[in-house]
A and B are shown apart, each in its own frame.
Chain A
């Protein structure tokens, strides 16, 4: 299912690029671990096949309209994710909402342009702009999701600070009662160290992500930033998970 969709749409876009005669645009094969992709990556494969076979203005327009439509659906989902996020800082939410709104209005204008085209070269150029002009799936989507993750990770810090204070108090009380607190203290130290490491990893990510643009992506500067951001956030999440386990170990040691 996934491979059929992934290959189908890649082939469709690549074929369209060939039809449009834009040999300079390179569509790299993106990993697509979720079957169907956002709003269905295989959603437009039918239109793509028709456009490949006939390459008339109306066929290409149908393909382009479909690709714009699924991007607008995806942008709506991203907008919902921003609204629903508990950890996203309000300033970052406003910035991301601005990026999403700009992409949506740009694609809506592009659809109107595409629908009014009557000549094949103009339609082909419009279709290429759907991808290269907006980068919804390889830039905006990761930018939104990873910024949510980064802010949410940083939002864990106050929770751990509160927990650390409570656990330190319990350790002191246990010590005052004459209990051996070595294991509990070691677990608390490990928790604090893991939180510090995770916070250091997550802290710079949001600014790096928010500075990305379509132009930067098209010149090759954004993809490595996204890749590194994802790696850092995965490691930070793992550190926070370890910290939570350390916290449970403190409680267990004090029982």
Chain B
């Protein structure tokens, strides 16, 4: 009895190693972190239908790697307000021309 004990332990250990090795060679399963079989978005998020978020480089600052919530396009500028901005810029240019015209140059 006492002579057989180390042998039994050795056999048990070998069986355990073979078992573990066989388990490691089998088909891998994804490490499931969610019970749901599809991506789950927070209530405030919507999935990106274009898939653009998946095509990004993942680098910081890459807009395509941003979260779906941050991909919402900015509000379309008001064309009339844009026209007024352009007019104001042109008026500023005119202002410069008028100011420059009054430079006598000491003639």
A residues engaging B (CB < 8 A)?
5-6, 8-10, 13, 27, 30-34, 37-39, 41-42, 74, 81, 85-87, 131, 135-138, 141-142, 144-146, 148-149, 152-153, 155-156, 159-160, 162-163, 166-167, 170, 226, 230, 233-234, 237, 240-241, 244, 247-248, 251
With A10-B106, A37-B106, A145-B97: A237-B91 Cβ-Cβ less than 8 Å = yes
Q: Tell whether A32 pairs with B106 under 8 Å between CB atoms, given A163-B83, A163-B84, A166-B79.
A: yes
Q: With the chains together, A41 CA to B78 CA distance in Å?
A: 46
Q: Are A31 and B104 in contact (CB under 8 A)?
A: yes
Apart from the given pairs A37-B103, A81-B97, 9 other A-B contacts in the complex at a CB distance below 8 Å: A30-B105, A86-B90, A136-B105, A149-B98, A152-B90, A163-B84, A234-B98, A241-B88, A244-B91
Q: In the complex the two chains form, is A5's CB within 8 Å of B106's CB? A: yes
CB of A155 within 8 A of CB of B105, answer no
- On chain B, the residues within 8 Å of A146 by CB distance are 97-98, 101
In whole angstroms, what is the CA distance A163 to B78 when docked?
A: 12
Majority secondary structure of chain B interface residues (helix, strand, loop or mixed): helix
Structural contact, B98 and A251, CB atoms closer than 8 A:
no
| B104 partner, pick from A137, A144, A230, beta carbons under 8 A | A137
Residues of B within 8 A of A42 (CB): 106
Chain B residues whose C-beta falls within 8 Å of the C-beta of A85 in the assembled complex: 97
Residues of B within 8 A of A (CB): 78-81, 83-84, 86-88, 90-91, 93-95, 97-107
Q: A163-B80, A251-B80 are in contact. Are A32 and B94 (CB under 8 A)?
A: no
Please state if B105 and A87 are interface contacts (CB–CB under 8 Å). Answer: no
Task: List, in ascending order, chain B residues with CB within 8 A of A156's CB.
Answer: 87, 90-91
Q: In the complex, which residues of chain B have a beta carbon less than 8 angstroms from the beta carbon of A138?
A: 104-105, 107
Nearest B residue to A2 via CB reads: B106
User: CA of A39 to CA of B103 in the docked complex: distance in angstroms?
Assistant: 11
Q: List 20 A–B pairs whose Cβ atoms lie within 8 Å, in order of A's numbering.
A: A31-B102, A39-B105, A41-B106, A81-B97, A85-B97, A86-B90, A138-B107, A141-B100, A145-B100, A149-B94, A155-B90, A156-B90, A156-B91, A159-B90, A163-B83, A226-B101, A233-B94, A237-B91, A251-B81, A251-B84
B15 to nearest A CB, angstroms? 80
Residues of B within 8 A of A30 (CB): 104-107
